[in-house]
Amino acid sequence: MGKPRPVCALACILFLWGQGMLMAKVEATSSVHIVYLGGKQHDDPILTTNSHHDMLASVVGSKEMAAELMVYSYKHGFSGFAAKLTESQAQKLSELPGVIRVIPNSLHRLQTTRSWDFLGLPSHSPVNILHNSSMGDGVIIGVLDTGIWPESKAFSDEGLGPIPSHWKGVCESGTGFKAKSHCNRKIIGARWFVDGFLAEYGQPLNTSENSEFLSPRDANGHGTHTASTAAGNFVDNVSYRGLGLGTIRGGAPRAQLAIYKVCWNVLGGQCSSADILKAFDEAIHDGVDVLSLSIGSSIPLFSDVDERDGIATGSFHAVAKGITVVCGAANDGPSAQTVQNTAPWILTVAASSMDRAFPTPITLGNNKTFQGKGLYSGNDTGFRSLFYPEAEGLDPNLSGVCQALAVDASTVAGKVVLCFTSLTLGAVRSASEGGEGSGWSRPDVAAPGVNILAATSPLGRFQEGGYAILSGTSMATPHVSGIVALLKAAHPDWSPAAIKSSIHGEIIHQVFHYLLKDLLPKLADTFDYGGGIVNPNGAANPGPGATNSIYRVMIEPPFGTSVSVKPNVLVFNHGTKKITFTVTVTTAHQVNTEFSFGSLTWTDGVHIVRSPLSVRAEFLQPYFL
């Protein structure tokens, strides 16, 4: 074999070096873009991918170059592709028919269920109450609801410690539920109560429309959703039809669950007061630390503590035994005096939104695209009719018009329904409103309750793969229940009153100043959100803090009033651990007024303890015998 010619070797070297220069130049001027095409035009993923290559080739010059630049072809849930493009290529693609938008690639951090990050409890942070409480380890949350779907990964006992020694409850078998296999170190107790319902109403529990189990198993899905929101374990790669992809978990993922099935899958979910009271009775005996109820009663009640209300009665005895009871304010608002579960010993929760939405672009016939929000990830490619609901007396530019009209499915079938909404960040939903008639303000606090992704029963409505995105005070309530479990783990000596006080005093308030309520053109106020959005980390350390602490008052007087506080400085030391102060409110009003709102806040520069003020002038008519 002869020696290779030097000129050939040199030519090869120059060729390879030239290719390297060419590639370096391309890499320096191109970046990954996402070309979004909306719904699929083909069910065959191969045809979809081929169409992506054809589209890209029309801009870059050849199918070979298109194949080289293509990063991903999105061909199953929707249509689109990611490719390395120059700015000019991206611009050309954006102008092609069928292209909805071209988006520069960006870096995203894998997130947990967004509501807990919104509340300041990311699982990766070592300095919040989630980790300071060992994620609720050793605390038992009792859930009164529609039962549980035990096979869900959210109820795995991986990473959990032993069953707490103070637990005295049982796990009961029944239809489709075996105690030995379906209970574990996460679901440590499961009972079901139906005798009161059957005795009173005699409704069949299995119909052609709704299935049900005479056991703790959940056919509805509501109870599974609330239980997993409060104390579900970590589950990776969860989404609802591709929305909200990430790791879900409950507020206290290391807490244990005791399930008390008191609601049945009849007429949308019905619960007997007799059964509820029996569940309270057993839960007190069993040794739960927290009780969570996303259940309401028929309104109006005769008084704030109605003797007919089984929840008020049962919760009173639970609180007396040291069990914190958390209940939803219900969803009958936004009119005044629609809050339920108003007994002063109950921690009553309103629902708020959070800083996350699911964008849903809509392209009109004139090719204009509007960015909306909705739980939709379909594959529509053609045009549909646009339905814009209107209602007399309601501003169509405010959200809630669709709900107010109670639009039925036959009216909107096959159409796109357009509704306007309020802002996303921390908006208060039209769940329920408190107000006059009591010596205390309701609800206590607000928590995320809009678009909450959690586990559910695979038999439930609106679920996919055992998970669902639901909204309401039912979803807000277990957020607070999970936070209560964290506080109980971090401060086992705290009473229900101390826990309630810490949550009520340490809140996130300022976000409400700019928000409209869903249906009415007015700012949301204390009767809508209580003290504000719950602040778990603040509640864990409410003060007074150091032995020698000085608190000064800040006053935001309600409109038309003057507020004074004596003393206006509180000095705590070794000898003074409790101080009483007096609040005086005066007004120049000479006629009856509506409520106005303000606040009274004590702070030492670190801790903030805020109390909302709700004031109105009311002149009583003289009464003569």
* Rg for the chain, CA atoms, rounded: 29
State whether 596 and 455 are in the same domain: no
Same domain for 216 and 147, yes or no, is yes
What confidence score (pLDDT) does residue 448 get?
Answer: 81
Mean pLDDT of the chain: 76
Least confident of 68-82, 182-196, 497-511: 497-511
Name the pLDDT band for 490 (thresholds 50, 70, 90): very high
| Verdict on whether the full-model pTM lies above 0.75 | no
Predicted confidence (pLDDT) at residue 510 exceeds the cutoff of 60: no
479 shares its domain with 576:
no
Residue 109 lies in a domain: no
Q: Are residues 46 and 74 in the same domain?
A: yes
When pLDDT is cut at 50, 70 and 90, the band that residue 118 belongs to is low
149/229 same-domain check: yes
Q: In what order do the strands lie in the sheet with 445-448?
A: 187-192, 256-261, 140-145, 290-293, 324-328, 347-352, 445-448, 533-534, 507-508
Same domain, 392 and 254: no
In the predicted structure, residue 1 carries a pLDDT above the cut 70: no
Q: Given 397, 417, 437, which residue is the final one in a domain? A: 417
Mean pLDDT in residue range 522-536 = 67
Is the pLDDT score of 614 beyond 50? yes
Residue 623 lies in a domain: no
Picking from 248-262, 329-343, 350-364, 468-482, which range would have the lowest pLDDT averaged per residue? Answer: 329-343
Mean pLDDT of 109-114: 34
| Residues 88 and 221 placed together within one structural domain of the fold | no
Domain harbouring 32, CATH code: 3.30.70.80
Residue 551 domain-assigned?
yes
Lowest mean pLDDT among 12-26, 249-263, 385-399: 12-26
Q: Which of 73, 133, 430, 474 is catalytic?
A: 474
Name which residue leads in pLDDT, 261 or 622. Answer: 261
pLDDT of the residue at 514: 36
Segment among 269-283, 518-532, 553-567 with least mean pLDDT? 518-532
In a domain, 9, yes or no: no
**Exposure pattern of 265-302 as b/e (b: 16+ CB <10 Å)?**
bbeebbbbbbbbbbbbebbbebbbbbbbbbbbbeeebe
CA angle 96, 101, 106 (to 5 degrees): 135
pLDDT of 530 > 70? The answer is no
**Residues 284 and 317 sit within 8 Å (Cβ to Cβ):** yes
pLDDT in tens, 160-189: 999 999 999 999 999 999 999 999 999 999
d(CA 240, CA 389): 27
> Of 149, 143, 260, whose CA–CA distance to 194 is shortest?
260
pLDDT at res. 170:
97
- Confidence band of 101 (pLDDT split at 50, 70, 90): confident
Q: What is the CATH number of the domain that holds 520?
A: 3.40.50.200
Alpha carbon of residue 387 to chain centroid: 28
Domain that holds residue 225: 114-355+426-536
pLDDT at 216: 97
pLDDT of residue 570: 92
Indicate which CATH number applies to the domain containing 569. Answer: 2.60.40.2310
- Is 218 a catalytic site residue? no
Report pLDDT digits (tens) over 456-480: 889 877 777 888 877 777 888 999 9
Q: Number of folded domains in the chain? A: 4
By C-alpha distance, which of 478, 603, 491 is closest to 534? Answer: 478
Q: Residues 598-614: what's their mean pLDDT?
A: 83
Of 500, 519, 536, which marks where a domain is finished? 536
Higher local confidence (pLDDT), 581 or 383: 581
Least confidently predicted of 39-53, 55-69, 194-208, 487-501: 194-208
DSSP 557: P
What does the pLDDT read at residue 617?
A: 79
Q: Output the pLDDT for position 319.
A: 93
Crossing angle for the helix pair 87-94 and 45-60, to the nearest 10 degrees: 120
- How high is the pLDDT of residue 425? 35
pLDDT at 243: 65
Q: Which of 33, 182, 222, 509 is catalytic?
A: 222
Tally Cβ neighbours within 10 Å of residue 555.
Answer: 15
| pLDDT one-digit tens code per residue, 241-275 | 666 677 889 999 999 999 999 988 887 778 888 88
| % of the chain surpassing 90 pLDDT | 29
Task: Check if 222 is active-site.
Answer: yes
> pLDDT, tens digit, for every residue of 263-313?
888 877 788 888 888 888 889 989 999 999 988 765 444 445 555 577 888
If asked whether residues 194 and 77 sit together in one domain, one would say no
Asked whether residue 81 carries a pLDDT value surpassing 80, the answer given is yes
**Residue 76 annotated as catalytic:** no
Assess if residue 620 is contained within a domain: no
Catalytic residue among 137, 145, 332, 525: 145
Q: What percent of the chain has pLDDT over 70?
A: 67
Query: 401: pLDDT confidence band, cut at 50, 70 and 90?
Result: very low
Asked whether residue 475 is domain-assigned, the answer is yes
User: 290 and 272, same structural domain?
Assistant: yes
- The answer on 150 and 217 residing in a single domain is yes
Give a yes or no: residue 212 inside a domain. yes
Q: Which of 373, 400, 417 is the last residue of a domain?
A: 417
In a domain, 10, yes or no: no
Q: Do residues 302 and 411 both lie within one domain?
A: no
Co-location of 523 and 559 in the same domain: no
